Structure 1
Amino acid sequence: MFKPLYIASALALLAGTASAETLTVYTSQPQDQMTQVIEAFRKDHPEIQVELFRSGTTEVLAKLQAEFAAGNSPADVLLIADAVAMTKLKNENRLMPFPEAKVDGIDPALIDADKTFFATKLITTGIVYNTDNVKQPPKSWADLATPEIASQTIMPSPLYSGAAVIHVGTMEQQPEFGAAYMEKLADGGAVAGQGNGTVLEAVARGEKSYGVLVEYMAMNAKAKGSPVDFVFPSEGVTAVTQPVAIVAGTNVPDAAKAFIDWQLSKAAQEQSVAQGYFPLLADVKAPAGYPEVASVKVMPADNAKLLADDKAIKEGFADLFGG
C-alpha cells in the first residue's frame, strides 16, 4: 500500500511567484513520473505552481470522498487510472466539464462524451513472465488459465488497484471468458497480491513465473535488466486510459484547464512515451520495443456496467482469492 505524499513543486521561479496561481493535483501516477510531469508542465506554464497529493487510486478516491463529505476538497485536478471512478464522480456532479479542451488527434472513444474527463495515455494489461523460469511463454489468456501455468500466476487485486477492477470487470464482460475465467484461475492455484507493484516484484524475483500486469511496468523493468518480458494476449488486452479531470468548484479553473490541455498536447504525449506508455496521438511513436498502438487489440468495456458491477466484481474476486 502506498503512503500518501504531499509534495509542493520546488520549481516556482523567483520572479512572479507572489502572483502565481497554485494548482492542486490529486493523482495515482507513480511519484517519479509525476515529478517529471510537473517539471515539464512548469516549463510551459511558469505562472502556475503545483502542489501534489499522490497515493494509490483507492486511497486518492477515499481522501476525495471524505473531503466532499466534509464540505469541500482542495483538489483542483484529478489524474487517476480509473475511468469507472471518473464516471461515478461525473454522475455525482463532482467534475467540471471542459468542452473547449484541445482534443484534436485523439480517438473520440477515449474521451468522455460530455468532455468532463479525458484520456491521457493508453495503459494495457497483459501477461508478464520471468524469462529465467519460462522457456515457452504463453500466447493467450486461455494459456494462463491452464493448471500448470495458473499455479505459478499472481495478479493484482481489485481491492487495491483501479486497473485491476477494470481488468477483472472487462474480462467478465467478454462472452468467451465471463466469470468462469476467474474461477478457473483460482481453481488452478493462481493467487492475488495487492497492487501491480507486488505482481512485478514476485515475477521479477522468480517467486512466481507469470503475472497479470500493466505493460509499462513490465517493459520498464525489462529495459532496466530485470528478467521479465511481456505478452499482449491474442484475445486482446484490457485497458485503462489514466483520465484527467477538473474538480468542480476549483478556485483556479484557468490553471486547471491549462493543465488538461497540456496533458493532451504532443509534448506531454512524447513525455508519456519516454516514461514507457503508449501515446494517444497517431503522430507520436510508441516506446521502443512496443507494438504500434494500431496493432494492439483492446477488448471492449462498458464503463457504465463496470460502475454498476463494481461491488460485485470486488466481492466476487475476494471470495475466490481472499481479501
Structure 2
Amino acid sequence: MLLLTMAVGLGLTACGAKPAGTNTNGSGSAAPTPPKTEAAAPAKTEAPKEEKKLSGKLVVYSAGPKELAEGIQKGFEAKTGVKIEMFQGTTGKILSRMEAEKANPVVDVVVLASLPSAQGLKKSGLTMEYKSAVNADKLIPEWSDKEGHFFGYSASALGIVYNTKLVKTAPKEWDDLTKEEWKGKVNIPDPALSGSALDFITGYLNVKGEAGWSLFEQYKKNGVAQAGANQEALDPVITGAKSVVAAGVDYMAYQAKAKGEPVDIVYPASGTVISPRPAAIVKSSKNVDNAKAFIDYLLSDEAQKMVADTYLLPGRKDVKAKDRAGADQIPTMKVDWTWMDTNGEAATKKFTEMFK
C-alpha cells in the first residue's frame, strides 16, 4: 500500500514563568521583584504519520491470467476502497486499444505479458517514472526498469508443452519438432497476440542471429500451425486434436496439469526465454495516487502469493514459486531485451507472413 504522508510540525511557543506578587518589607517599600525566569521550551513532537486516504477509480488494462487479474482487483478494492475498471486482453489487444485511444487516453495502469512491449511504451514517452514502490528492492532486477517506468511483478517461461496420452517420448529440444514424427501435430502461438510468444521468437533470433529463422522455416514446412494466443494454442493439445505446443507458456500448462488434464512441459536444455510480466503507470493517468498504490499492491505479500498460486513465477526474489520449476531451475538463453524491443515489430510481421 502506498504511504503518502504529511509531517505536521507542532509549533510550541515557550511560556514564561508567572511574575511574583508584590511583597512589602518592614519599611513599607515594595520588595524588589525576583528576576523573571523562563521555563525550558518543551521538545517539538511530530504527529504520527498518516496513510493518505484513497478514493475514486482506477482504469487497468491487464493481460491474464483472468483469475489472477480478478483476484488482484478484488484485493486492491477491499484494501483501498478504490473502484477498478478492468479491461482484460492479450498484450497485443491491450496495445491496440491504447493506440486506438491515443487521442483521448483513459487507462491508468497497464499490466503486460512482455517486457519489450513495456520498453516500447517507455521509449515512446507513455510511462511514468515511479521509484517509491513498496518492496521494489526485492524484485528480480532484470525484470524491471531501473528508472522505475515498469515493474516485473511476475513472469512465465516458454517451453514445449505436450499431451501425455498422445506423446510417449517427449521432444527435448526446439529442433526436435522439425522431425517427421511431429508433422502436422504442433501449434505455436501468434506473436501478434501473445507477448510471451513474441519474447520467445525475438529472444531466439537475438541469440541465433538471422540463422534463427531457419528453425521457424522448418516448423512451417513440417506443418506447425500458428494458432491464436496462448490459450488457443494450448486447448487443442489438451483435447488431443494436437500433440504439442512449441513456445507454450508454462503457467497455463501447470494450471491444466493441476486440474488433471493430460499435459506436461519440457524446457529445452539449450535454453528458453523467461518472459517477465511488467506493470506500468501510464503518463496520462488521471488517477496517479491510485495508480501508485496499485503498483505497491502488486508487489505486496498478498498479491505475490496470488501470483505464486496461479503458477506464475513471482517477481520478488523472496517469494517462492508454487509446485513448479523456479526461475533458477529453468535453462535460459542470454537475451538482449533492448534488441528484442527494437526488432519485435519486424519479427512479428515476418513470422506471421511466414505462417499464413
Map of 1:300 onto structure 2: 334
Partner Cα separation in structure 2 for residue 311 and residue 106 of structure 1: 28
Map of 1:286 onto structure 2: 321
Return the offset for 1:32.
Answer: 2.8
Return the offset for 1:282.
Answer: 3.1
Return the offset for 1:312.
Answer: 2.0
Return the offset for 1:307.
Answer: 2.3
Task: Give 5+ residue unaligned stretches, structure 2.
Answer: 1-53
Return the offset for 1:320.
Answer: 2.1
Q: Which stretch shifts more, 222-231 or 30-39?
A: 30-39
Return the offset for 1:182.
Answer: 0.9
Distance 1:51 1:192, change over 3 A: same
Is 1:130 paired with 2:163? yes
Partner Cα separation in structure 2 for residue 62 and residue 280 of structure 1: 26
Alpha-carbon RMSD across the aligned residues, in angstroms, is 1.8
Is 1:82 paired with 2:106? no
Is 1:158 paired with 2:191? yes
Partner Cα separation in structure 2 for residue 133 and residue 52 of structure 1: 39
Is 1:200 paired with 2:244? no
Matched-pair contact (CA < 8 Å) for 2:139–2:153:
no
**Aligned with 2:83: secondary structure?**
strand
**Aligned with 2:118: secondary structure?**
helix
Map of 1:140 onto structure 2: 173
Is 1:272 paired with 2:304? no
Partner residue of 1:116 out of 149, 155, 170: 149
Partner residue of 1:98 out of 116, 130, 141: 130
Map of 2:86 onto structure 1: 52
Partner Cα separation in structure 2 for residue 126 and residue 280 of structure 1: 19
Partner Cα separation in structure 1 for residue 189 and residue 310 of structure 2: 21
Matched-pair contact (CA < 8 Å) for 2:59–2:107:
yes
Partner residue of 1:181 out of 215, 218, 223: 215
Deviation >4 Å, runs of 4+: none
Distance 1:292 1:87, change over 3 A: closer
CA offsets 1:5-40 (integer angstroms, 9 cap, x no match): xxxxxxxxxxxxxx8221110112233321111112
Paired AA for residue 57 in structure 2 = T
**Aligned with 2:313: secondary structure?**
coil
Paired AA for residue 92 in structure 1 = S
Return the offset for 1:150.
Answer: 4.8
Map of 1:107 onto structure 2: 140
Partner residue of 1:214 out of 240, 249, 252: 249
Matched-pair contact (CA < 8 Å) for 2:163–2:238:
yes
Partner Cα separation in structure 2 for residue 240 and residue 173 of structure 1: 14
Return the offset for 1:249.
Answer: 2.3
Return the offset for 1:244.
Answer: 0.2
Is 1:73 paired with 2:108? no
Map of 1:245 onto structure 2: 280
Task: Give 5+ residue unaligned stretches, structure 1.
Answer: 1-18
**Aligned with 1:100: secondary structure?**
coil
Q: Which stretch shifts more, 313-322 or 245-254?
A: 313-322
Partner Cα separation in structure 1 for residue 61 and residue 215 of structure 2: 34
TM-score w.r.t. the length of structure 2 is 0.80
Matched-pair contact (CA < 8 Å) for 1:147–1:189:
no
Aligned sequence identity (%):
31
Matched-pair contact (CA < 8 Å) for 1:120–1:280:
yes
Instruction: Figure out how many residues of one structure are paired with residues of the other and give that number.
Output: 301
**Aligned with 1:300: secondary structure?**
coil
TM-score w.r.t. the length of structure 1 is 0.88
Matched-pair contact (CA < 8 Å) for 1:121–1:280:
yes
Matched-pair contact (CA < 8 Å) for 1:139–1:231:
yes
Matched-pair contact (CA < 8 Å) for 2:153–2:316:
no
**Aligned with 1:241: secondary structure?**
strand
Specify the structure having the higher radius of gyration (Cα).
Answer: 2
Matched-pair contact (CA < 8 Å) for 2:190–2:229:
yes
Paired AA for residue 74 in structure 1 = V
Partner Cα separation in structure 1 for residue 188 and residue 163 of structure 2: 14
